[in-house]
Amino acid sequence: MKKVLLAIGMLAVSINNAVAGFNNWDYEMENNPFSGGIKIYSINMTSIRSGVAILCDSSEKAIKIRSIPGFVYDSSLDYVTPEIKIAIDGDIILIGLEGRTGSVGDNLAMSEAKLEGDDARIFLTAFKKAARQVAIENGISTGPILLTARGSTKTGQALEKCLSN
C-alpha cells in the first residue's frame, strides 16, 4: 500500500509542470466579436497566486504585461506609479516603463505596463529568442519575478501576429 501511495505521489509531482501556464509560457487565442480582431491571453504562473500575464487585443495595437506578485491588493497601491523593468536572458531590454496598479482575481495585487510601438517590438523580438529566463521587476514587489523562457517562442509568435492584425 505504501508503494502505491508513493507512486501516486511521484506521478502527481512529475506532471505538475505539464499543467498549461505553470512554469512555462502558454496562451489562448480567441476572436473578439466586438472589435473584429483577435485577443490573446498568455500566462506563466510561478504559483497558484503569482506569475505574469501578457494580453493582446489586435484592435489596440499594444500588449499589456501584468505582473502578479501574489499578495493581496491594498488601496495604498492606488498611490503608487510603478516603474516596470524587463530583462530577458540576463539582458535588460526595457526600463522606465510607467505602469499602473490594480487587482486581479481574488483581490491579488498587480502592476501593469502597456507596450506600444518600438517598446512592443523590442520586447517581442527578445521574448521570441529567450532561451533561459524572462525577468519582470514590477515596481511593487521586493524583487523581480523570475520566469522560465520555456514556451516563449511560440507565445511570442502568436503575440506578434496579434499586433500585426
- Could you read off the pLDDT tens digit of each residue along the chain, which spans 165 residues? 555 444 444 444 444 444 567 999 999 999 989 888 899 999 999 999 999 999 999 999 899 999 999 999 999 999 999 999 999 999 999 999 999 999 999 999 999 999 999 999 999 999 999 999 999 999 999 999 999 999 999 999 999 999 998
Give the model's pLDDT for residue 13: 46
Instruction: Assign a CATH topology to domain 21-164.
Output: Immunoglobulin-like (2.60.40)
Grid coordinates of 80: 503608487
Grid coordinates of 148: 522560465
Per the confidence metrics, is the pTM higher than 0.95?
no
